[in-house]
Structures are given as C-alpha cells and as structure tokens.
C-alpha cells in the first residue's frame, strides 16, 4: 500500500466504514483511485471475512500511465482481483465509460457507471485530485467540478444507509459549502475530517458521510447536481471547473445556498471546521519553515508514532477481529465523531486528551 492508503485505513478505523459490513456482503465503488491503494485496502480487509460473503467492487480512474490501476504494486490479496478472483466470491471490475478515458466529470461516463452499479453500492470512495502547482491558491476553485461530480456520482450509486468518503480542498467558496450542505441533508451524519496521515500543511481534507438517505429530496438534489455538470460540459469557458461562473448555478443549486444560510447549526459547524483546520495548517506551515531555516533540527520519531497508529488502526495481520477495546482508542473515536455534523441528533461533545496527544505527536 502507498501513503494514500493509510488515510482510508485511518478513516475506516475511526468511522467503521468497512467493519459495519464484516458479516455482510459488500459492494463498493472506488473512483479517481488509481493506481489502486484504496481498493487494495478494502480487498485486504475483506480477505479476513467469511469466504461465503461476497465482495464486489467497481472502479473508474483516468487512463494515464501513472494514474491507471496497477495491480502489480498491490499486496497478494488485492493483486488477484484483477485476475478476476480474490476468493470465489470477491471480484472487482475496472470501468472507463463510453469515452474509455475514465474521466468522472464527463456526463456520459457518469451515466455509464451508474447504470452498471444500479444503486447497489454500500461504500463509495473518491480520492480525486490533480496538479495545481502553477496555481496553488486556486486549488479549491479549480477542484469544484471534480468535487461536484464525485459527490453526485456517489449519491447516484449508493444503496440506502450506504457510506461515502470524498476528498476536497478547503471549504471557503459558496459552491463547496453548498455541496457539503446538500450532503448533510442526504446522509444521517457528515464529518469534515483531516487524517493525521494527510500532509498537515496542505488544504486536503475529506468529507465522510454515513447513512445515505434514499429519499425524494435526495434524488432531487442529485438531479440538480448532474444538471449543473451537464451545463458545465456544454460551456467552452476557460473557467470550466469553476461552478460559480456557470450561469446555470443559481438555477440548479442556488436555493440550497439560501437554505444553508438559514441553518445556523450547520453554518456554525462549517465555521468551526474551517477555523480549526486553517489554524492547524498555518501552524504546520510555520513549523515547516523552521526546518527550512535549520537543517539540523530534529523531528520526533516518526517510525514509533507510525507503529502506534498501526495499533490504533487495527492493522496487525496477526489479528482478524475488530476489537477497539482500548480506552485510548475509544476516546479517539468519540472525539472525532463529536466533530461531525448531524442535524438529526445532538453531538457527543466529548473532549479527548488522546486526540490532542496523537496530533501533537504527529507534528
């Protein structure tokens, strides 16, 4: 597994994304996932389940040499999925859409994947991103369309009570905030989460959504998101990725923004998450600068911290049972869930010294 996989390992350990299906069949979708570390992790986890349980995955990623699926880099359990077999009931299929380019922003590719999955997915994973080194301050704006498409696609293929994980970058612009708000109405619970395995000085974070609600309101929201993407597809503007510049934005998603502004609890949650993550990012940027100034400055023992997190994340191959009985781990999980937004029940509001210790250690 590469470094990207450990972000999902951590989120699975915190939110129980795959363990909820430890005694059930699992259908998952992994988009923008090449060369395949997130699929690799899911298949690795499922290798310890009862072999009578079925595991089936669908993947769509760009057809680029460095980004396409690469089974040769995977572990022994996951490699076999591209030969068609993990065990007799576990398979994974790579799809690229009618264009055969794997671009999830293209409407015909989206519709093709949705028609293949048929609302059967229990878990939707989206780790899309692209190089913005020439315009780093525009990363959120440039990624808006990708975020929109990943979220719309996820909510188009999820079964009732399914879970979704989607990467995003910052949450300061109206389109990003509106999409997060839509997710809060379409799932039982959402959390904006920054994995400790994510580079602390960058703007990367994940929207973790649990308990998909397959309602008429959800279908209406998904249809509006897909309509907006089709409008973007028709435009020839250079600001193709920027949703706020699309004339159809007000028609499709504009009313959700007004509803968001009237939801004081959501606005406060979003403000708190933005403030906390931004201050953490600034702190780590300053810390990075001190290492640039002093090349002899010693960091903490990252290997020891890594081993500690492996224990927290239940990554030992010696144990196949999910057993988070340690108080420290339970405190850690509760502290993360207390940072979630659930409009249907109060937050846990649990303080945790464990989380504070872990985050300081990673610094």
**Residues assigned a catalytic role:** 167
Packing angle of the helix pair 3-15, 327-337 (nearest 10 deg): 90
Distance CA 131, CA 190 (A): 27
* H/E segment holding residue 90: strand 90-94
**Phi (first) and psi of residue 190, to 5 degrees:** -130, 155
**Phi (first) and psi of residue 158, to 5 degrees:** -75, 140
Closest by Cα among 319, 317, 192, 328 to 266: 192
Instruction: Report CA Rg, the chain.
Output: 20
Distance CA 89, CA 92 (A): 10
Geometric angle at alpha carbon 346, from 340 and 348, rounded to 5°: 65
* Cα of 71 vs its chain's centroid, Å: 21
Distance CA 66, CA 133 (A): 17
Closest by Cα among 270, 240, 103 to 174: 270
């Amino acid at each position: 597994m590469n470094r990207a996989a450990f972000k999902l390992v951590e989120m699975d350990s915190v939110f129980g994304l795959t363990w909820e299906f430890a005694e059930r069949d699992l259908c998952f979708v992994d988009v923008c996932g090449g060369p395949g570390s997130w699929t690799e992790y899911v298949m690795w986890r499922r290798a310890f389940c009862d072999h009578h349980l079925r595991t089936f995955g669908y993947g769509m990623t760009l057809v680029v040499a460095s980004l396409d699926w690469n089974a040769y880099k995977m572990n022994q359990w996951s490699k076999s999925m591209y030969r068609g077999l993990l065990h007799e009931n576990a398979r994974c299929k790579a799809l690229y859409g009618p264009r055969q380019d794997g671009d999830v922003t293209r409407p015909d590719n989206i519709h093709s994947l949705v028609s293949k999955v048929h609302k059967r997915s229990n878990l939707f994973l989206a780790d899309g991103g692209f190089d913005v080194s020439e315009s780093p301050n525009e990363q959120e704006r440039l990624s808006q369309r990708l975020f929109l498409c990943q979220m719309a696609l996820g909510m188009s293929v999820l079964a009732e009570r399914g879970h979704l994980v989607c990467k995003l970058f910052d949450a300061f612009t109206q389109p990003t905030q509106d999409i997060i708000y839509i997710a809060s109405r379409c799932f039982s619970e959402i959390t904006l989460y920054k994995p400790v395995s994510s580079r602390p000085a960058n703007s990367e974070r994940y929207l973790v959504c649990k308990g998909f609600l397959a309602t008429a309101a959800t279908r209406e929201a998904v249809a509006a998101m897909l309509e907006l993407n089709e409008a973007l597809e028709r435009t020839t503007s250079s600001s193709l990725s920027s949703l706020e510049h699309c004339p159809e934005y007000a028609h499709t998603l504009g009313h959700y923004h007004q509803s968001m502004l009237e939801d004081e609890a959501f606005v406060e949650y979003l403000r708190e998450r933005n403030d906390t993550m931004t201050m953490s990012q600034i702190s780590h940027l300053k810390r990075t600068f001190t290492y640039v100034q002093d090349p002899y400055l010693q960091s903490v023992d990252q290997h020891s911290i890594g081993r500690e997190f492996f224990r927290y994340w239940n990554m030992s191959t010696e144990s196949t049972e999910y057993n988070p009985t340690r108080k420290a781990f339970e405190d850690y999980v509760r502290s993360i869930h207390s940072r979630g937004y659930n409009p249907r029940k109060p937050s846990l509001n649990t303080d945790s010294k464990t989380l504070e210790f872990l985050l300081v250690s990673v610094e």
